[in-house]
Structure 1
Amino acid sequence: MANRPRTRSRSAPKPQTSRWRRILKWTVAIGLTTAVMAALALVIAVYTARSSLPSFDTLKSSPNGQMIRVHAADGTVIVSLGPSYGEWIPYSQIPSAMREAMVAVEDRRFYSHIGVDPVGIARGLQVSFQRDKRVAGVSTITQQLARNVFLTSNRSYGRKVREGILALAIERKFTKDQILELYLNKAYFGGGAYGIDAASRKFFGHPATNLTLPEAAIIAGLVKAPSNYSPTADAAAAVDRGRVVLRLMQQQGVPGASEVGPDDVRAVKLAPEPMQNSVRYFTDWALPQLEMLIDETVEPLEVWTTLDLSMQRSADAAIRANTPGGAQGALVALDRGGEVRAMVGGKDYVASIYNRATQATRQPGSAFKLFVYLAALEAGRKPDDQVVDEPVTIEGWSPRNSSRRFSGTIDLRTAFAYSINTIAAKLGLEVGFGTVADMAKRFGITTPINTQPSMVLGTSDVRLIDMTRAFASISQKGVAVTPYGITRVTANNQVIYQHQVDTSRVLISPQVAAQMTDLLQTAVNTGTARAAQIGRPVAGKTGTTSSNKDGWFLGFSSGITTGVWMGRDDAKAIPGLQGGTAPARAFAAFMRKAVANRPVEQFDTEVTLPDWQLEPDDEAYYGNADAGAFVDADGNPVPPEQQQSDAPRGDDDVPPPPNTGDPNAEQQRLDEEWLDRVTGRAPPRDARDARDLPPQRRPDGPRDPAFRQLPPGQRDQDAPRPNQ
């Protein structure tokens, strides 16, 4: 009996120990069962994913996104949009330095793991609990390939699980060499470049097969953060990152890495970034038209355009060199069929992508008189018809000429050449202002046109490309010209679009077009547009709006039609800007090079210069360029007191001679002082100045009758009159 208590005390703990053992056994059993089931589920998931993976050849031929490469007329690639893919580089042709650099920086245990790296996963889980519960860590190259090809970059636990399953499946289906080949040809390296060949060509200017070890180190370093390390974004950061990769390669004993120093990476020459300047004005205008031309949205596209790179460079230089400070300039050049050979929408695309050639709407000034005279010629008027330049009032509107004077009886050719406003107003009234508006619409003006009397002086806003199109239709003898920039589009070497030029639409008769060309070439030869002369036949017209806000010149020669506009985006006045100055000079600078290799072409009618134009003094009687409309932005007349101070005095502003009522008493002063103002010359201040003048211009020298051009009513009957 004495031993029983001791016996009970020894056996008391047994039931509790057995219970914990049973719990442990059940826990282990459940854990093992769960692990086995999880492993079985993982194996099933991996092999299911493996069976659904595309073949190696399929993955090689499936780019991620649509690439568009745009070619100039000569085939040169001028811009690549969307993802850029280079040539596919087989594993055997990938430089070993490139393979080693990528493995060193992205996945040093690449050749030993099964697709996922447990060390990397553990590190990622640790960081995820420290930083906003986001999964972080170093993915293996296989995981990155799975994400790049099959998944999104969304950060979540679910995506990481799917990524791991796909990585295991990829490792079961492809060899390590195939995985690395796929990765290096598909990874994104920044700057729109996918694959090492695209990256090598973009950043170093040569194929990936020629990569050196320092270049390979730079490219390998881009994968971590393409937007930050890309040489196009930060060249210094890209080089510094390349030095980090080189150090890792050296630490891992990569052959040849020890022979390369940090200075060798710093010495790598990066290919210059292509100038995204004026050519982008053209591509920004042309490429949106693809949506209307083709239905292909997946396959890579090759887009062939009309752009002539030589002309584009000349156009860019002409606008930059001639546009006044603080102003913007634009230029469009069309070939016979409407091919856009050059397009400049501003002085600097990087500073402003706004395309003033196709988007801006501005008043054209006297350039709009093209449609006024076209309507008159179609109604039966002839260039030699006599008209009277005199005061006129139409519905309360009284246009004035920029010269502040009236010339009396002149012919239509002269009125157009010197942009006489009163004659344009009379012609508009004669044919009907609605008829003029219809003529403008017929020739391709797409903006609204008012039918107030002042519309004949160009008070309706228009686009430069539309005005250029109208002049091009005149150059083509009245056949409609439609500007276009895309000639053909190919996908997988198959033509899916081919442009066809339509020459079936006739706007006016060839006779009217020839008469209009007669007037236009007179304006260049003897009138407001003499600055546009290039040593071969040119036909064109100037335009200047009130207060020198806009300057235009549009003309054609040897099959090329070019329009130039200059002005400020805020429409403020620009002192000295007239169509016959900077715009005409830009036209001439461009056209001399644009038509240099084209044969000289004569117009149907030739302008014979009058005798007084053939004298040693080559300045015309009427002066230089068209000043504009003398109307405000709403088409209302500018008061005379404002015309003197605010409205422009154009190059053709020839002040009328003083009218004293006594022609005999004023004859000598008219012959000398007024003539000097007409020709733009200052009167001689002393005998030395007088001796420098030609004999017929000296105060005491003989007078040439050709220089005695007096206003109507005071002209000498023996003096020759302008006869354009």
Structure 2
Amino acid sequence: METAESPDSAENPEAADTPAAAATPEPAATDGKPPRRRRRKLLLTFGVLVAILGLAAAAGAVYVSSVPTPNAITLRESTVVYYSDGKTVMARLGQQNRTIIDTTKLPPYVAWAVMSAEDRTFETNPGVDFKGLVRGVVGSNDGPGASTITMQYARIAADITGATGPDVAVMAWKFDDEYSKQQIMDMYLNTVYFGRGAYGIEAAAYAYFAKSAKSLTLPEAMVLAGVIKSPGDGAFDPSVNLDTAKDRWNFIRAGLSEAPLKKLPADETAKLTYPTVFVKWSPETPATGSGLDEPTGLIVQQVLAELRQLPEFKGKEPGFIENGGFKIVTTIDAAAEDIALSLADETRRGSLLYGQPKTLQAAVVAIEPGTGRVLAYYGGHNGMGADFASWYYDAQGEPTGYGAHPPGSTAHVYGLATALRNGISLKSYWSADKIKTFPASGRDATRPVRNRSSAACQPTCTLLEATKAQLTVPFFGLTEQLGAKNVIDMARNAGIRDMWSYTGDERKRVDLRDAGADLTTFGTEVGIGQYPVTVLDQANAMATFAQGVRAEAHFVKQVTKVGAVVHAEKLPDAGANRILSDNALNDLAYALKQPLPDGQDAALALGTWQYAASPVDNAHAWAVGYTRNLAVAVWTGNTGKEQPLRLKNGALIYGGTIPGPIFREFVVRATDALHLTHKPFGQPVFLGDQAAGNTPAPK
């Protein structure tokens, strides 16, 4: 018959299910006295008991008061990152997978199952197994026994605080004296290890049954209680050893109806059946991974970087967020994110980069106009690797990421918006020669500006025609006339937070939001897209142009802990941060308007930046744009050093080769997935001065 009380799993993993050993009598003494070995053991046992009693008395004055109580113990609790619905898990963070809950809200049979497995006299015992202590001193190879739940918890607390030896027993006495049995059970259920990397009942319920502990059935609770005995090796894990797991489960079932526990009638427990549905698991492939190695791992890095800059988290010790037990709800929509991955992740069959040269890399960012919420973000397949969509501060405060790329002719959007704000009409005329010098900007005959595309309107084109044809010369002339600083101001106001300048071959990030930022390193070339910007900032700028209201791009919607809000996003007021009038926005959208397959209005700018001095090859290709509901930026380049962008068949890559199709497909599919209503752009009014160009109208 099995013993009614199960020893601590860490100390005696074999005893609880082992039939009681038959008593073996000592050999009879020939002189009427006990053998010398037994006499020594009795004396030692007596000494141990005296020592224990003496220890208890001394502790009452000084020692016990110095032993930490649960209130003084800080548990590492996993932080969980969710998609925008607050339910779908993106990643679990922290050194231990633990979620602390109020276990008083669990079905009572969860605690019953654990008592039946680990300590059937829990509700009546004094918290310490004196027999176990004596056993440990007088000969047990397992050390001091700790069969009660209270002592098991004391050992966990001792490990956390660094207490050793007798402290465990003293802590158990103190806990049992100062806390109710319900409180001790709550502490225990939130701390004990259940295997599969899961600490505490809530993490275990998800690890084994993919549900919250409050939803556990009694048979499921019994499975979890069973693994506590030997959690590290999976000995009672149904995925590892189903037979022993069932034996352990049957032992627990018997204890529920037997004395001393007797929580349920025997006929009721007899009807219980072992669960057939549980999460499959193998020790070689743990099921509780953090998710940081997935593409969404880069989103998590952005989330952590964003939080570390907030007053609620700034200056906290490393790991504070990850081990703090926070619930982080991101702005990322799960459906939109999956669409982005399906189109841009080079490892996914069906994506536009699948089967192409391995050096090719894409990045996609989608933002909700008016709020700044990042709805989808793809910066690379390896969440632990390089981020090609933006950059972030890591845990050490170091800037990390590779997501800054020359925007090429997509930068024309900022010059165009600046022109509209300054009263220059889309119908104004600009020199569009194939090659042109601009001495005032340092572009003399040795460094002329060239158009890499052509249009029927040349050599004189309207600003509208130059926009449609992506002509470089007219926009260089426009930027020279407006002033590079004014174009940068527009870009900053729209959402470009950082721009990289060049000093020789060295790039330097310039925070455009810094009032003291040195902008003298940026020349007229800003209007033709020479200076790198991030994919994230480009998407945010497009979101501003979609509605005319600037909002800060952000990844975090809300952070809570135990139901209390720690941080909530701050959205702009309606009409706040407006940078262009409605008429200017309508003219801008008209200049960029491109049809989408679903018939909705979209504004789209394509662009490239050349490879080195090549007149043919490109190193970067872009597509940036927006509808009234959605703003998207797409970049394609190389994973390492710049090199010519070419498809597997050798064809050149332009903005319309990969980025453009990704943009169109993403917008169409995301509009449907997000249930967005098609909203047309307003009619153009062609505001401004038609004579404001740098060349007269052709005759």
Q: Does 1:402 align with 2:474?
A: no
**Cα offset, 1:95, TM superposition:** 6.9
Q: Which residue of 2 aligns with 1:457?
A: 528
Superposed, 1:493-532 pairs within 5 Å as 493-502=563-572, 503-521=575-593, 524-525=594-595
Amino acid at match of 2:629: G
8 Å CA contact 2:127–2:148 kept in 1: the answer is no
Q: Does 1:476 align with 2:493?
A: no
Q: Which residue of 2 aligns with 1:239?
A: 239
Structure 2: how far apart are the matches of 1:295 and 1:412?
48
Q: Which residue of 2 aligns with 1:649?
A: none
Aligned length: 549
Superposed, 1:323-472 pairs within 5 Å as 323-324=352-353, 325=356, 326=358, 327-349=360-382, 352=385, 354=387, 356-358=389-391, 359=401, 360-390=403-433, 391-393=435-437, 394-395=443-444, 396-403=446-453, 407-445=458-496, 446-449=498-501, 450-472=521-543
8 Å CA contact 2:432–2:471 kept in 1: the answer is yes
- CA root-mean-square deviation: 4.7
Structure 1: how far apart are the matches of 2:183 and 2:290?
37
**Cα offset, 1:145, TM superposition:** 0.3
Unaligned runs of 5+ in 2: 1-41, 258-268, 282-286, 314-319, 392-400, 438-442, 502-520, 611-616, 647-651, 687-698
Q: Does 1:144 align with 2:152?
A: yes
8 Å CA contact 1:219–1:242 kept in 2: the answer is no
Q: Which residue of 2 aligns with 1:74?
A: 85
Amino acid at match of 1:76: K
Amino acid at match of 1:188: Y
User: Aligned pair in 2 of structure 1 residues 120, 268: CA closer, same or farther (>3 Å)?
Assistant: farther
Amino acid at match of 1:594: A
8 Å CA contact 1:331–1:357 kept in 2: the answer is no
Amino acid at match of 2:478: L
8 Å CA contact 1:86–1:198 kept in 2: the answer is no
8 Å CA contact 1:397–1:453 kept in 2: the answer is no
Report the secondary structure of 2:160's partner residue: coil
Q: Any idea what the Cα deviations from partners look like across 1:272-317, whole Å, max 9, x if unmatched?
A: 7699444443333224433444537798544444332232222222
User: Aligned pair in 2 of structure 1 residues 92, 509: CA closer, same or farther (>3 Å)?
Assistant: closer
Q: Any idea what the Cα deviations from partners look like across 1:47-74, whole Å, max 9, x if unmatched?
A: 877778999xx87x99824554444433
**Cα offset, 1:43, TM superposition:** 3.1
User: Aligned pair in 2 of structure 1 residues 113, 405: CA closer, same or farther (>3 Å)?
Assistant: closer
**Cα offset, 1:465, TM superposition:** 1.1
User: Aligned pair in 2 of structure 1 residues 489, 363: CA closer, same or farther (>3 Å)?
Assistant: same
Q: Any idea what the Cα deviations from partners look like across 1:191-211, whole Å, max 9, x if unmatched?
A: 664322431223212354645
Amino acid at match of 1:64: L
Match among 85, 110, 116 for residue 100 of structure 2: 85
User: Aligned pair in 2 of structure 1 residues 292, 453: CA closer, same or farther (>3 Å)?
Assistant: closer
Q: Which residue of 1 aligns with 2:300?
A: 283
User: Aligned pair in 2 of structure 1 residues 137, 520: CA closer, same or farther (>3 Å)?
Assistant: farther
8 Å CA contact 2:49–2:134 kept in 1: the answer is no
Structure 1: how far apart are the matches of 2:325 and 2:237?
31
**Cα offset, 1:493, TM superposition:** 3.9
Match among 53, 77, 86 for residue 39 of structure 1: 53
Amino acid at match of 1:535: G
Q: What TM-score, normalized by structure 2, do the two folds share? A: 0.66
Q: Which residue of 1 aligns with 2:28?
A: none
Query: If each structure's strand is expressed as a fraction of its own residues, which one has the higher value?
Result: 2
8 Å CA contact 2:56–2:170 kept in 1: the answer is yes
Match among 600, 604, 615 for residue 540 of structure 1: 604
Amino acid at match of 2:375: A
**Cα offset, 1:213, TM superposition:** 5.5
Amino acid at match of 2:169: G
8 Å CA contact 1:365–1:545 kept in 2: the answer is yes
Structure 1: how far apart are the matches of 2:411 and 2:234?
53
**Identical residues among aligned pairs (%):** 19
User: Aligned pair in 2 of structure 1 residues 121, 362: CA closer, same or farther (>3 Å)?
Assistant: farther
8 Å CA contact 2:366–2:633 kept in 1: the answer is yes
Amino acid at match of 1:167: A
Report the secondary structure of 2:57's partner residue: helix
**Cα offset, 1:490, TM superposition:** 3.9
Which structure carries more relative contact order (alpha carbon 8 Å, separation 6+)? 2
Q: Which residue of 2 aligns with 1:602?
A: 680
Q: Any idea what the Cα deviations from partners look like across 1:345-377, whole Å, max 9, x if unmatched?
A: 335345746362444111112111222323333
Structure 2: how far apart are the matches of 1:102 and 1:200?
18
Q: Which residue of 1 aligns with 2:110?
A: 94
Structure 1: how far apart are the matches of 2:167 and 2:207?
33
User: Aligned pair in 2 of structure 1 residues 602, 175: CA closer, same or farther (>3 Å)?
Assistant: closer
Q: Which residue of 1 aligns with 2:331?
A: 306
Structure 1: how far apart are the matches of 2:117 and 2:386?
39
**Cα offset, 1:561, TM superposition:** 0.9
Amino acid at match of 2:669: K
**Cα offset, 1:93, TM superposition:** 1.8
Amino acid at match of 1:93: Y
Q: Any idea what the Cα deviations from partners look like across 1:415-435, whole Å, max 9, x if unmatched?
A: 111101222222233333344
Amino acid at match of 2:341: D
Report the secondary structure of 2:387's partner residue: coil
Q: Does 1:159 align with 2:164?
A: yes
8 Å CA contact 2:372–2:540 kept in 1: the answer is no
**Cα offset, 1:556, TM superposition:** 0.8
Amino acid at match of 1:94: V
Query: If each structure's helix is expressed as a fraction of its own residues, which one has the higher value?
Result: 1
Amino acid at match of 2:450: R
Match among 244, 262, 270 for residue 280 of structure 2: 270
User: Aligned pair in 2 of structure 1 residues 49, 199: CA closer, same or farther (>3 Å)?
Assistant: farther
Report the secondary structure of 1:333's partner residue: strand
Q: Which has the larger radius of gyration?
A: 1
Structure 2: how far apart are the matches of 1:447 and 1:515?
26
User: Aligned pair in 2 of structure 1 residues 211, 86: CA closer, same or farther (>3 Å)?
Assistant: farther
Structure 2: how far apart are the matches of 1:437 and 1:308?
31
Structure 2: how far apart are the matches of 1:252 and 1:604?
70
8 Å CA contact 2:587–2:685 kept in 1: the answer is no
User: Aligned pair in 2 of structure 1 residues 178, 374: CA closer, same or farther (>3 Å)?
Assistant: closer
Structure 1: how far apart are the matches of 2:664 and 2:290?
25
Report the secondary structure of 1:447's partner residue: strand
**Cα offset, 1:578, TM superposition:** 1.8
Q: Which residue of 1 aligns with 2:227?
A: 221
Structure 1: how far apart are the matches of 2:247 and 2:138?
22
8 Å CA contact 1:344–1:357 kept in 2: the answer is no
